[in-house]
Structure 1
């Protein structure tokens, strides 16, 4: 736990509760030094006397208020304390308000309040009362020579003091150009979809799941440079142009809301269903593709024989091949059993008659003598 940066008391009516103030936050920013790129020497900052140009030791530095140009009133640490001794030693509670009524942009820095000796009972009493009533204590406190507005809030078993901005330090929201009127008003359907998205994204507050990923990525770059021995080399500027800013365009809010809902965990079921539908469509094409397999040698020979008989021994032409291919693609319809048996016998008879005629023609041709060759 951090050390105490301030000791005093909480002034609660006529009750004084001795407490110590401890920091409740820390900074994880990377400690980067300024360097001279010519020789990598660190650059330091010096406090210089503007009249002589010489550096000044801290022992010779005092604080002063310029009431006129080049005319100052010098203030010592004791002057700051004597200005209001009570204010510098107490967290003075001036009122209680509903904890949810304080806008978050008023808050600045959190601190833990820890009870000192003989302050445990009063601390527990104030904590339990604030927890039970749901109130926040509004107080004034002086830290580091400056008075702060502050809010005391119960957190678990502890009391947290959050320094706040004064009202004149917060810029008025009226200075902003904000959307209004029917032109920018959301439709009932858009609000319904947006509400669904909010409910879809709602979860328990778990701050530990968030961390500074950019800091981690930057540390990876630093460690990679150390490992590669590039401890003094500067990375040249990238040749890639900066990403251009997008121009204004009309936004289809409903489409974006629907897509956003589909990307969340509860929208996974529709995505899986859509994937299954696509799979079914793909498998539906499979029988048609497998039906076009390459024919076997026996099948080729049978087809060639039939083609030869149909065309008088000639190879089928391009048109015949195209007709056969288109005929193969056309689905065949089943004929009723009665119709098939009625038309099957005449077709068989015709085929048998054609075979007999072909055999006779072959026999007649074979019996005729071969023509005599002409003399050379």
Structure 2
């Protein structure tokens, strides 16, 4: 059973669902380490001054952001720490959107959302609601001091949280010039291409595709191991975040109160709109609900 990488609760309205995140992917590949060929001792990475070529100690390294070509603004560790997002144990759902509206280009890394024992009913409720509606939940989550935009969606019998790339991290087709392609294809060419696609169409079985480079390298490693030349490197396991208590009270009542609160807010907005010009309200995609509450204070 894979280890959980995060524990907390999914929150929408007044409803909390205690969950843990388990990575939905496993990295497989060949990790080459640098070794001294004379002794087979591990070789590390040096921090070197690119002008003088001399090694720089950690105490002499500062962080800077390039402002103009060759000109930097130096920031202290204290200044940087002040802007790191506050670690929380809540996945705050900001909105529900149509699943097909999110481009595949935004998807980054998937995790399974595992319900705690006390949350199986409300977990199932959210799963079935999203499945029937065709919608997904857009949320904020902080993991390892880094803020992520994420989407919660049903997959099979469970829920998946997939971290998303921010909008400014995704290039559009126009950005790379694909919208300027000009090429005409004939009906005959289209028909031939369609027939070729039909002939090559088969069911999707991901296990039939594999990394042949990795296979060949590991075969060579196994052969050398039999000759007594195998090196083993152990890596420390990641620390597990402490769980947060997230008791769930009467689900029906929480849903009723959440919907009631939405209606009251809507009625107040309508009343205010009659007395003064409407103010445009926006939500920043990168602002968590906890920070919005602090701002309101």
Q: Residues 35 and 41 of structure 2 are in contact (CA less than 8 Å); yes or no, is this contact kept in structure 1?
A: yes
CA positional deviation for 1:42: 2.0
Map of 1:350-361 to 2, 5 A cutoff? none
Map of 1:1-376 to 2, 5 A cutoff? 1-45=1-45, 69-70=73-74, 72-74=76-78, 84=86, 88-178=88-178, 180-181=181-182, 184-226=183-225
Q: How far apart are the structure 2 equivalents of 1:135 and 1:205? A: 25
Greater fraction helix: 1
Q: How far apart are the structure 1 equivalents of 2:39 and 2:77? A: 43
Instruction: Provide, for residues 200-241 of structure 1, a one-character-per-residue CA deviation record: whole Å limited to 9, x for no partner.
Output: 222222222222222101122333445567889xxxxxxxxx
Instruction: Provide, for residues 271-298 of structure 1, a one-character-per-residue CA deviation record: whole Å limited to 9, x for no partner.
Output: xxxxxxxxxxxxxxxxxxxxxxxxxxxx
Q: How far apart are the structure 2 equivalents of 1:191 and 1:144? A: 50
Q: Alignment partner of 2:181: what SS?
A: coil
Q: How far apart are the structure 2 equivalents of 1:73 and 1:37? A: 38
Q: Alignment partner of 1:147: what SS?
A: strand
Gaps of 5+ in 1: 233-376
Q: Residues 64 and 73 of structure 2 are in contact (CA less than 8 Å); yes or no, is this contact kept in structure 1?
A: no
Larger radius of gyration, structure 1 or 2?
1
Q: How far apart are the structure 1 equivalents of 2:230 and 2:137? A: 52
Q: How far apart are the structure 1 equivalents of 2:129 and 2:26? A: 29
CA positional deviation for 1:54: 8.6
In structure 2, the CA distance between the partners of 1:205 and 1:8, relative to structure 1 (3 Å rule), is same
TM-score, length-scaled by structure 2: 0.63
In structure 2, the CA distance between the partners of 1:69 and 1:223, relative to structure 1 (3 Å rule), is same
Q: How far apart are the structure 2 equivalents of 1:96 and 1:73? A: 37
CA RMSD of aligned residues (A): 3.6
Q: Alignment partner of 2:142: what SS?
A: strand
In structure 2, the CA distance between the partners of 1:76 and 1:103, relative to structure 1 (3 Å rule), is closer
In structure 2, the CA distance between the partners of 1:217 and 1:132, relative to structure 1 (3 Å rule), is same
How many residue pairs match? The answer is 221
Q: Alignment partner of 1:42: what SS?
A: coil
Q: How far apart are the structure 2 equivalents of 1:2 and 1:14? A: 30
> What's the counterpart of residue 370 of structure 1?
none
In structure 2, the CA distance between the partners of 1:19 and 1:185, relative to structure 1 (3 Å rule), is same
Gaps of 5+ in 2: 49-54, 232-297
In structure 2, the CA distance between the partners of 1:110 and 1:76, relative to structure 1 (3 Å rule), is same
CA positional deviation for 1:118: 2.3
